[in-house]
Structure 1
Amino acid sequence: METKTKAPRRDYFAAWKALRALMKDREDTNQVFKIMQALTGDSLHKQYARFIETDIGTNIIEKKIDLLDTLKNREALAKLPEGSLGREYLNFMITENITAEGLVDASDDSFSHFQDENFERYAMRTREMHDLWHVITGYGRDGLGEFCVVAFSYSQTKSLGFAAIALMGAFDLSKKFKGHGVLGAVMQAFKHGRQAAWLPGQDWENLMAVPLSEIRQMMNIQDPTKYIAASEVSAQTRPDSIVATA
């Protein structure tokens, strides 16, 4: 089940421009997708090849299952047990005042060049997982939490765009918050991503009712101790606090 979509050449200049824009406004999610598109190379193709070799991947592709359908169905998520992945995800989205569809809007035309429906479905699936991974890993949507999730994501996907965002973001924050363990928290997230199960290949639709604590244990998701210890940085890099730290 090879894809017709060719791996793009990396555009380092476009990535640099988007990185600079992202550092000026960390809430500009559109820049993240520009960076990812510029630096993806063949990493997404390698992930897709791995995905379709699994029973879960084959089932999702053959049945044309879209993760977004599950994540945006708040009525169904609200009926799940307290402490389940689905309920915790819903609570996270409500608390942060965001929606699953928000990532779709922010991705702009990043998915318009695909020539293969199956490959596009997998690519979109990886996009929808971002906020789900926040919930699973325990990293918040503050500046440090975002860079930690991105570092974790790089370990999982080997996409150079994630590495660029994590590194530049970590060094930027470490200069503003010297001695607060920023680099250590991001590096720990990278290590935890290497130790965890391969999250892109999980059957998330059927895991929504499972207790979050059970999923973390099952997938070897370690506690983000260094991120938690850097709570002052987290508090000052919340979306509503970013202006004060810029």
Structure 2
Amino acid sequence: MESLAQSFDSSVDLAAADGDDLPLMLPGRPPARYDFPKAWRHFKELIKDKENTAEVFPIFEALPWRGVYDAALAFLKTDRGQQIRKSEPSLVTLLDDHAALRKLPAGSLAHVYCDFMEREGLSAQGLVDELDKYRPADQYFNDQVDWYFRRMRDTHDLLHVLTGFGRDALGEQCVLAFTYGQQPALAHLFLGYAGAFEISKRNKVKVPIFRAVREAQKLGTTCPRLVEMPIRELLAMQYEDARRHLGITDPSYYREAHAKWRAAGIDPYDLLAPQQMAA
């Protein structure tokens, strides 16, 4: 596995890793506290316009992962954490270099990831640009904890690929629930189940919507935190080997839901504006 991972041209990333003088955690970071009224206020606005992503960021601010600083510091204080930080200073740089990823063997996680991102018209930098629109200026900290936070953001699409949950409505809720198992911010759980409830209200076919979301949550709990894994090594592994390595099994209820919708002539990727599938 190591020899495959070394086939990356990592000179840019390793050069960027020279910032060994970065402090572990700068003072002044906001405390991770719950603000339920704020979360509910922004959620009501999100319900009015589900495309208004500006309402999502405040929900995560209001329903954070309260143990995130402890988790980040615990990882960063280990030799393994520092080794990964120095070898992978920027996942955006790594994940958006499809030319380098394509040099890895066919069937590897890298190829499956590139196929997914190119098919969906996505990029790791695109997600950064979208989220940065809503990130307050006072939440930028040049420290090692910020590196950890960036990895939580930059592994989102990789989670889609590894779990098998698509970008359909149910798939997105399942990824949120899976992420809660990895990074237990109440916002992930709240939005995941709220989205599942919205799907169920419009659903005319009996499918295991909530079971799919719950299954995703359990899968996220049993999988080691992806943010703390060496992504280079995972990308070099064969896709199914990478999933087995992480303990990720096929999402049976999600697959069952899709099968039942398609059997009823419903496109799972158009659930919130249901139309009959073309013959």
Which TM bucket (shorter chain)? 0.7 to 0.9
Which residue does the alignment assign to 2:39?
15
Query: One-letter code of the match for 1:177?
Result: N
Deviates more, 1:75-84 or 1:51-60: 51-60
Give the C-alpha shift of residue 111 in structure 1. 6.3
Which residue does the alignment assign to 2:229?
202
Shift in alpha-carbon separation, 1:52–1:165, aligned structure 2, 3 A: same
Shift in alpha-carbon separation, 1:143–1:23, aligned structure 2, 3 A: farther
Q: Percent identical across equivalent pairs?
A: 34
Query: One-letter code of the match for 2:82?
Result: T
Give the C-alpha shift of residue 62 in structure 1. 4.7
1:84 partnered with 2:108: yes
> Residue 130 of structure 1: which of 139, 156, 159 is its match?
156
Shift in alpha-carbon separation, 1:163–1:78, aligned structure 2, 3 A: same
Give the C-alpha shift of residue 193 in structure 1. 1.3
Structure 1 unaligned runs (5+)?
A: none
Shift in alpha-carbon separation, 1:72–1:24, aligned structure 2, 3 A: farther
Q: Provide the C-alpha distance between the structure 1 equivalents of 2:244 and 2:38, rounded to a whole number of angstroms.
A: 39
Which residue does the alignment assign to 1:173?
199
Deviates more, 1:119-128 or 1:34-43: 34-43
Contact 2:163 2:248 survives alignment (8 Å): yes
Deviates more, 1:23-32 or 1:39-48: 23-32
SS at 1:208's partner residue?
helix
Shift in alpha-carbon separation, 1:115–1:2, aligned structure 2, 3 A: closer
Give the C-alpha shift of residue 170 in structure 1. 1.4
> Residue 236 of structure 1: which of 253, 267, 273 is its match?
267
> Residue 102 of structure 1: which of 126, 149, 153 is its match?
126
SS at 1:172's partner residue?
helix
Give the C-alpha shift of residue 22 in structure 1. 4.0
Give the C-alpha shift of residue 191 in structure 1. 1.2
Contact 1:67 1:205 survives alignment (8 Å): no
Report the aligned-residue RMSD: 2.4
Superposed counterparts of 1:65-84, under 5 Å: 65-84=89-108
1:188 partnered with 2:200: no
Contact 1:26 1:143 survives alignment (8 Å): no
Give the C-alpha shift of residue 65 in structure 1. 0.6
Q: TM-score, normalised by structure 2?
A: 0.78
Superposed counterparts of 1:23-102, under 5 Å: 23-40=47-64, 42-62=66-86, 65-102=89-126
Which residue does the alignment assign to 2:251?
224
Bigger radius of gyration among the two: 2
Q: Provide the C-alpha distance between the structure 2 equivalents of 1:198 and 1:168, rounded to a whole number of angstroms.
A: 24
Give the C-alpha shift of residue 161 in structure 1. 1.1
Query: One-letter code of the match for 2:217?
Result: F
Contact 1:78 1:87 survives alignment (8 Å): yes
Query: One-letter code of the match for 1:110?
Result: R
Give the C-alpha shift of residue 63 in structure 1. 5.8
Deviates more, 1:189-198 or 1:37-46: 37-46
Structure 2 unaligned runs (5+)?
A: 1-23
